[in-house]
Amino acid sequence: MKIAVLPGDGIGTEIVAEAVKVLDVLDLKFEMESALVGGAAYEAHGHPLPESTLKLAKESDAVLFGAVGDWKYDKLDRPLRPEQAILGLRKNLGLFANFRPAICYEQLVDASSLKPELIAGLDILIIRELTGDIYFGQPRGRRTAVDGHFPGAEEAFDTMRYSRPEVERIARVAFEAARKRSKRVTSVDKANVLETFQFWKDIVTEIGKEYPDVELDHMYVDNAAMQLVKAPKKFDVVVTGNMFGDILSDEAAMLTGSIGMLPSASLNASNQGLYEPSHGSAPDIAGKGVANPLATILSAAMMLRFSLNQPEAADRIESAVKHVLASGLRTGDIWSEGTKRVGAREMGDAVVAAITKKTITG
């Protein structure tokens, strides 16, 4: 088994280092190889996703990814911007199924901006389609308008599109995931306005018939955005397209009060996966050693479970994280009165200590 380790930019290097430390202590048999990605790769090789990095990712069973991006690259041509690295990896590895759990940890209930009773016990799973939709749809570009409100004016355009197999496969992923949870799926669309999402809704309904044990409902995306803050616990598995999933998963993450806690997995048809924290590269705190490494550590746990077939090791990481939270350690993003503020390294060390202690006591 081989893991490609791609720390990227900003806090990426600090948090991935902690996750690697945790993986090392598990003493499992896999090889880890690091490579540059994002702005760091652009600086060194002139491209955010160099051929060598892509090759390493392709030949690995899993990719452990930090984060990419920094404001200083905003002026670069789009194909050279750090974000293109993650989009390129998704596309080239065919990582169409993105799992973004939003779990509210008991100890962090007060970190949310929502009332505790709304989010205590929250455990929802957003499944975002990741390689289609307006993100990748062609054609796109700039041109002179030939019609519309201002013929002859400069205009820009993107294309929202989904093919039947793309919708079918993500729908199946969602129904299968729901079978392992509370057997409920909410499909989020904009079928009242968009042809693409009427098509989406029709196909999800069809596939739903293959899963009579799973309850399916449909919700327009604007309503879903509202319900997520009004009564988030009514959701269980949410399945949606690339664009809506991008937006709703940030919203869901914030419900938990701690985007620094949320892992994610992006899988292809052969369970090869890319694992990354749900948060970004946070250039404002990079290099200060204060970032929260737990989302990345929990992403490593998802990696062990989904791509490396090591569920017990994943359990050990997850219970170590709970143990560390229960012991009162907090990075700045989740700190509250009465808890102990620590940096990324101390947090990683504490998780390692919790794991090794478990090993000794069995």
Choose, from 110, 222, 234, 340, the residue flagged as catalytic. 222
222 among known catalytic residues: yes
Is 85 a residue that touches ligand IPM (CB under 6 A)? Answer: no
Is 246 a residue that touches ligand IPM (CB under 6 A)? Answer: yes
CB of 246 to Mg ion, least distance (A): 4
Is 83 a residue that touches ligand IPM (CB under 6 A)? Answer: yes
358 among known catalytic residues: no
Cα distance between residue 194 and residue 94, in whole Å = 25
Is 86 a residue that touches ligand IPM (CB under 6 A)? Answer: yes
Q: Are 241 and 201 in contact (CB under 8 A)?
A: no
CB of 72 to ligand IPM, least distance (A): 16
Q: Pick the stretch among 80-88, 148-156, 159-167, 204-212 that binds ligand IPM (CB under 6 A).
A: 80-88
250 among known catalytic residues: yes
CB of 210 to ligand IPM, least distance (A): 29
Q: For residue 99, what are the CA distances in angstroms to 238, 276, 300?
A: 10, 11, 14
CB of 286 to Mg ion, least distance (A): 19
Total of chain residues touching ligand IPM, rule CB under 6 A: 4
Is 246 a residue that touches Mg ion (CB under 5 A)? Answer: yes
Total of chain residues touching Mg ion, rule CB under 5 A: 1
246 among known catalytic residues: yes
Q: Pick the stretch among 31-39, 201-209, 240-248, 283-291 that binds Mg ion (CB under 5 A).
A: 240-248
Determine which residue in the list 1, 87, 145, 353 makes contact with ligand IPM, applying CB under 6 A. Answer: 87
| Strand 184-189 versus strand 31-34 pairing type | unpaired
Is 123 a residue that touches Mg ion (CB under 5 A)? Answer: no
Residue nearest to ligand IPM (CB): 83
Cα distance between residue 128 and residue 113, in whole Å = 24
For Mg ion, which is the closer residue by CB, 91 or 358? 91
For ligand IPM, which is the closer residue by CB, 216 or 274? 274
Is 160 a residue that touches ligand IPM (CB under 6 A)? Answer: no
Choose, from 135, 162, 211, 275, the residue flagged as catalytic. 135
CB of 82 to ligand IPM, least distance (A): 8
3-state secondary structure the chain: CEEEEEEECCCHHHHHHHHHHHHHHCCCCCEEEECCCCHHHHHHHCCCCCHHHHHHHHHCCEEEEEECCCHHHCCCCHHHCCHHHHHHHHHHHCCCEEEEEEECCHHHHHHCCCCHHHHCCCEEEEEEECCCHHHHCCCCEEEECCCCCCCCCEEEECCCCCCHHHHHHHHHHHHHHHHCCCCEEEEEECCCCCHHHHHHHHHHHHHHCCCCCCEEEEEEHHHHHHHHHHCHHHCCEEEECHHHHHHHHHHHHHHCCCHHHCEEEEECCCCCEEEEECCCCCHHHCCCCCCCCHHHHHHHHHHHHHCCCCHHHHHHHHHHHHHHHHCCEECHHHCCCCCEECCHHHHHHHHHHHHHHHHHHC
Is 251 a residue that touches Mg ion (CB under 5 A)? Answer: no
340 among known catalytic residues: no
Is 346 a residue that touches ligand IPM (CB under 6 A)? Answer: no
For Mg ion, which is the closer residue by CB, 56 or 274? 274
Binding site for ligand IPM (CB under 6 A): 83, 86-87, 246
Residues that are catalytic: 135, 190, 222, 246, 250
Contacts with Mg ion, residue ranges (CB under 5 A): 246
